[in-house]
Amino acid sequence: MYVRPASSLKREIKEIVIADIVLTIAFSFTLLGGIENLTGYSALMNLLLFIPISAVGVTLSFVLHELMHKFVAQRYGAIAGFQSSRSGLLITIATGLFGFLLGIPGATMIYADRFTKRQNGIVSLAGPATNFVVFLAFLAIRVFGNPTGYLLELVSIVMFISILLAFFNMLPIMPLDGSKVLAWNPYVYFATMGVIFILTLLFTAISLTEIILMFIIALIFSMFYRTML
């Protein structure tokens, strides 16, 4: 499927850790409205409070998403590994500093001589499905655990990140996961996307303008994807 050779495990771990850190910092700045709002002692304290929350949310959503792609692909006999993008990392941190996030630090690359449309669809679905499971787990904590204060903030943000990441990746635009799931099985795609879309509307208060912006971001990502990795 791809022409680049797989990287070593040590390098892969390093790259996904760097991507996780960069995305965590960028998301923390985004939550606070960008670097322009970080003036004064209280703003810096808020940043320090948000970074651990973002770290949990990003790691459980982004890292597990990518690892699940890798593990499922390996189950089908493919070679798979996460590969970061220098330009993508720069874009991620730069947009976060300005208060909006274009999170494209890298992706799981899959190398296989033969990969059926069904296998590709299942591997692609594994990422958003993982986000969905994380969302449900933290929804259960929120409903049955009755968290308060800082813990409630953490639970809410993990839910927000996980379901929004699932929604974005299920958009039917190459090379996002949704395009491959749709090519494999439209019924699975629309059923999955329907549930994720409803949950996204219910738990993120996303607007039509923001949905359109996500489509635009996905199109930009599609245009520059092969040159960024």
Positions marked active-site: 66
The H or E element containing residue 62 is none
Beta bridge partners of 110: 80
Q: Provide long-range contacts, Cβ within 8 A and 24+ apart, for 3-7.
A: 4/83, 4/109, 4/229, 5/111, 6/79, 6/80, 6/81, 6/109, 6/111, 7/81, 7/83
Residues 109, 130: Cα–Cα separation, whole Å: 18
Q: Do 154 and 53 contact (CB within 8 A), yes or no?
A: yes
Which two three-digit tokens encode residue 135?
């969302």
Q: Return all residues near 191 (Cβ < 8 A) that are at least 6 apart.
A: none
* C-alpha separations of 69 from 29, 81, 123, 127 in Å: 28, 9, 5, 6
Q: Do 45 and 68 contact (CB within 8 A), yes or no?
A: no
